[in-house]
């Protein structure tokens, strides 16, 4: 059921929109404020959204980056001024392409007979800023955003939805007897990566790494029978020595994304997954946590779990040597 949306210009500086969702308020609040859920609905579908930071508390900062099909990026940021779960959220909003034009957004969540009425107020600095926003097809983009948000809220209410989400996640924690700087280099320097990347019977003859946010990587895993499997992705977040977030896709040798069926694998694999790797000091050793999101449940996830663990076994051996 799509959201019922209404746009009203309250004054020369203020635009108010209302939306009604067939869902309880706590669930709508969670979908609105959970950083993990933001990429599923924030902005028109022709963009992918990256959550750079989202600290939902008074004085906390947020920053989202949208990327189009050509790789162009558009940043947005602000500061939370008031947070009253699950009733009210107030914060600033600024498009980085037009710095200095800051508006204040207020969202109130009201539960009415099991449904949730969301009222958004956008207060601009002046009438010219509001006119400029309307001229930029803001209403069309906002309407599509609400359609995507409604789809997410509907999906979250389906029986077993949390379990299904968990079934597409793989988390592996390993502790390596090596300093964090060495483990980081093993992940980020091509010649080191080629020494351990891939399951036990695979080699990695190619590894190209452009280690920067927005940079891409390309690797080749070669099976014992000589068959090559290529993979690619884009770095979404890099915090040196601490954290790497990147997309993960099957590819051809030129780096073009291809479906898993290209290599005879399950069609259940999405075209793009996401991997988060964190590095922590632990008693002179390094604790590594790998979070791979998007892998289908069942044999596909079992195979990925085995492949990752065999790769990390090889990494441990390399570090020990």
Question: What DSSP assignment string belongs to 124-181?
Answer: -SSHHHHHHHHHTTHHHHHHHHHHHHHHHHHHHTSTTHHHHHHHTEEEEEEEESS-HH
Q: Indicate which CATH number applies to the domain containing 181.
A: 3.30.530.20
Looking at the structure, tell me whether residues 90 and 188 fall in a common domain: no
The residue out of 158, 187, 204 marking a domain boundary is 158
Q: Are residues 133 and 220 in the same domain?
A: no
Question: Do 22 and 123 have their domain in common?
Answer: yes
Boundary residue ending a domain (134, 158, 182): 158
Whose tokens are 């969702």? That residue is 21
Q: Which of 133, 158, 183 is the last residue of a domain?
A: 158
Mean pLDDT over all residues of the chain?
90
Q: Is the CA virtual torsion 132, 119, 87, 21 positive or negative? A: negative
Q: Would you state the structure tokens that stand for residue 229, as one six-digit string?
A: 């499997």
Give this prediction's pTM. Answer: 0.52
Judgement on whether residues 309 and 258 belong to the same structural domain of the protein = yes
Number of domains forming the structure of the chain: 2
Residues 10 and 150 both lie in one domain: yes
CA dist list (Å): 135 to 20, 106, 141: 25, 22, 12
The answer on 183 and 122 residing in a single domain is no
Q: Residue 296 has what DSSP assignment?
A: P
Determine contact, residues 56/50, Cβ cutoff 8 Å.
no
Number of residues assigned to the chain = 321
Is the domain of 49 the same as that of 191?
no
In angstroms, rounded to a whole number, what is the distance separating the alpha carbons of residues 16 and 18? 7
Cβ atoms of 173 and 279 closer than 8 Å: no
164-176 pLDDT tens trace? 555 678 899 999 9
What is the per-residue pLDDT across 134-186, written as a single tens digit (0 to 9) for each?
777 666 778 889 999 999 999 888 765 554 555 678 899 999 999 999 999 99
Could you list the residue range(s) of the whole structural domain that residue 100 is in?
4-158
Predicted confidence (pLDDT) per residue in 253-305, tens digit: 999 999 999 998 888 888 889 999 999 999 999 999 999 988 888 888 889 99
């Amino acid at each position: 059921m799509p959201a019922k949306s209404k746009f009203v210009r309250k004054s020369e500086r203020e635009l108010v929109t209302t939306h009604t969702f067939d869902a309880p308020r706590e669930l709508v609040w969670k979908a609105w404020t959970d950083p993990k859920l933001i990429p599923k609905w924030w902005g028109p579908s022709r963009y992918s959204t990256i959550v750079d930071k989202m600290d939902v508390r008074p004085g906390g900062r947020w920053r989202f980056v949208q990327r189009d099909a050509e790789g162009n990026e558009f940043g947005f940021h602000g500061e939370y001024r008031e947070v009253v779960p699950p009733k009210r959220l107030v914060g600033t909003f600024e498009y980085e392409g037009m710095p200095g034009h800051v508006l204040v957004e207020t969202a109130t969540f009201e539960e009415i007979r099991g449904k949730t009425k969301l009222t958004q107020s956008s207060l601009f600095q002046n009438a010219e800023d509001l006119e400029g926003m309307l001229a930029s097809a803001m209403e069309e983009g906002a309407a599509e955003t609400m359609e995507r948000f409604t789809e997410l809220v509907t999906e979250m209410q389906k029986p077993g939805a949390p379990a299904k989400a968990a079934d597409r996640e793989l988390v592996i924690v390993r502790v390596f007897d090596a300093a964090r700087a060495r483990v980081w280099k093993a992940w980020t320097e091509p010649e080191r990566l080629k020494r351990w990347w891939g399951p036990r019977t695979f080699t990695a003859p190619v590894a190209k790494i452009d280690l920067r946010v927005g940079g891409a990587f390309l690797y080749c895993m070669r099976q014992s029978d000589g068959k090559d499997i290529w993979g690619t992705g884009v770095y979404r977040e890099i915090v040196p020595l601490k954290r790497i977030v990147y997309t993960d896709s099957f590819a051809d040798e030129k780096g073009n994304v291809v479906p898993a069926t290209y290599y005879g694998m399950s069609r259940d694999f999405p075209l793009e997954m996401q991997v988060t790797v964190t590095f922590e000091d632990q008693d002179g050793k390094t604790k590594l946590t790998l979070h791979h999101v998007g892998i289908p449940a069942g044999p596909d996830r079992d195979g990925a779990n085995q492949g990752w663990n065999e790769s990390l076994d090889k990494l441990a051996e390399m570090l020990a040597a």
